[in-house]
Amino acid sequence: MRLLIVVPDQDRATGNWVTATRLQHGLAARGHDASICAAGDDPEKLRAAVTAAAPELVLLLHAWRSGRPWLDMGSPRPYAVLLTGTDVNAGMTDPAQAPVIATILQHAAAILSQNPLTVAALQRDQPLLAARVHYLPPGITLGNTPFPLWERLAATPGELFCLCPAGIRPVKGQVELLGMCAPLIAEGQPLRMAFCGPVLDHDYGRRLFEAIEIRPWATYLGIVPPDAMPDAMRRADVIISNSFSEGLPNALVEATALGRPIVAHDIPGNAAVVTDGVNGLLYRDGSGFRTAIRRLQNDPALAASLSHPDPGRFSSEREAFTLEALCREILQNL
C-alpha cells in the first residue's frame, strides 16, 4: 500500500509532524510505502508531491491546515482525515474555517481522531458522518537522545522544576501560565518554570519572551528535538499543560509513558490522557492550578504516587496496525 501523509507546513518539532513521522515509521515497519509532505500556500508544490508519491490513499493530518491546500489543489485521489484539537474545538465553528472543514469531512473516505471523547461526540452530534468516524488509538515512540537540561538552567536545589513542552502560540496558554504562577512566587514557593517548543505565533512569542525576561524563575529552552524530549522530561519534576484546546497531546502521552507527574488544564483533550489523582492533577482555573502545585510541593508522597511509568498504554504498534486496517478497508470499498 502506498500512503501519503499531508501535514501543515510547520516546524518538525510540532505535534503534527511528530505524529506524522510516527505513523510513517509504523506503516513502513508493516511493509508499506508511506511518505510525508507539507501543505503550504502553494498548491502546485503539493500537486508535485502527490504526483511523485503516486499514493493509493492520502491521509490529511489537520482538516483545515492540510485540507484547505488539498481542496485548492483539486486532486481526485481518495483521502482520509485525521482531526486535530483546533479543528474540533475551534475550526468547526470559525466562519472562515468551518466551510472548508465541512467540505473535507463530507468527501473524506474516513474521519479519524485519536481522542475517544471526540469520536463519541462526533458520532453523536454528526449523524451524517457517524459511520465514517473512527478511533485511531494513539501511540508513542520514545527517543533516547540526551538533552543537557541542567546545563541550560540556573536552577537551585529545592525548586519544583516544571516543564511546559508545547509550540508557542495563544492556544497553548504559556503567557497566561506565567501569570498563574506569579502568586506562588510571591508567597515564596520555590518554583522553576521552563518552556520549550517552536514559535508558531511570532506576536505571542514576543509577549512570552518579554514576560520571561522580567521573571528570573522562568526560562525558554528553545526547541527540544523530539528524540531528546524523553530525556528532558525525565529531568523535570512535573509536566505542565495550560492549553485551551487539544486533540490528544503528544507531550502528555509521552509524560504518561515515562511516568512523569502531570498538571494539566481540565479540557477534553488533556482529560483523555490524564486521570486526576492517577497520573496527574487536573485544574480548571488559576486557583486550581496553584492548589495542584502546592500539593506537589508539600506532599512528596503524592508526587511519588503519580510517577509510575505506563509505556504499554500507548502502543505505536497497535496504532500502526489499526491505521493499516482502516486504510485497507477504505481501499477495498472504493
Q: Delineate the domains of the chain, giving CATH numbers in brackets.
A: 2-139+315-333 (3.40.50.2000), 149-313 (3.40.50.2000)
Instruction: Identify which of 265, 46, 297 has the alpha carbon closest to the alpha carbon of residue 174.
Output: 265
Judged by DSSP in three states, 310 sits in: coil
- Residue 257 near residue 314 (C-beta atoms within 8 A): yes
Give the pairing type, strands 262-265 and 160-165: unpaired
CA distance 185 to 31: 53
Give the pairing type, strands 79-82 and 160-165: unpaired
CA distance 195 to 191: 13
Question: Looking at residue 155, what is its pLDDT?
Answer: 63
Average pLDDT per block of 10 residues along the chain, 334 residues long? 96 93 97 95 89 97 96 94 94 96 98 95 95 96 90 76 96 98 94 96 98 96 96 95 94 96 96 96 98 95 93 94 97 91
Can you name the residues that pair with 55 across neighbouring β-strands? none
97 residue type, one letter: Q
- Residue 23 near residue 5 (C-beta atoms within 8 A): yes
Instruction: Identify which of 73, 51, 66 has the alpha carbon closest to the alpha carbon of residue 16.
Output: 66
CA distance 273 to 259: 12
Q: What grid cell was written down for 281? A: 492533577
CA distance 266 to 290: 14
Question: Looking at residue 311, what is its pLDDT?
Answer: 84
Question: Looking at residue 294, what is its pLDDT?
Answer: 96
CA distance 134 to 130: 8
Q: What grid cell was written down for 164? A: 511546559
Question: Looking at residue 26, what is its pLDDT?
Answer: 97
Q: What is the pTM of this model?
A: 0.92
Question: Looking at residue 151, what is its pLDDT?
Answer: 77
- Where residue 164 falls (left for φ over 0; alpha for ψ -120 to 50; beta otherwise) is beta
CA distance 238 to 222: 18
Q: Which helix (H) or strand (E) holds 97?
A: none
307 residue type, one letter: S
Q: What grid cell was written down for 127? A: 449523524
271 residue type, one letter: A
Question: Looking at residue 149, what is its pLDDT?
Answer: 81
Question: Looking at residue 321, what is its pLDDT?
Answer: 98
Judged by DSSP in three states, 261 sits in: coil
- Residue 95 near residue 64 (C-beta atoms within 8 A): no
CA distance 108 to 193: 42
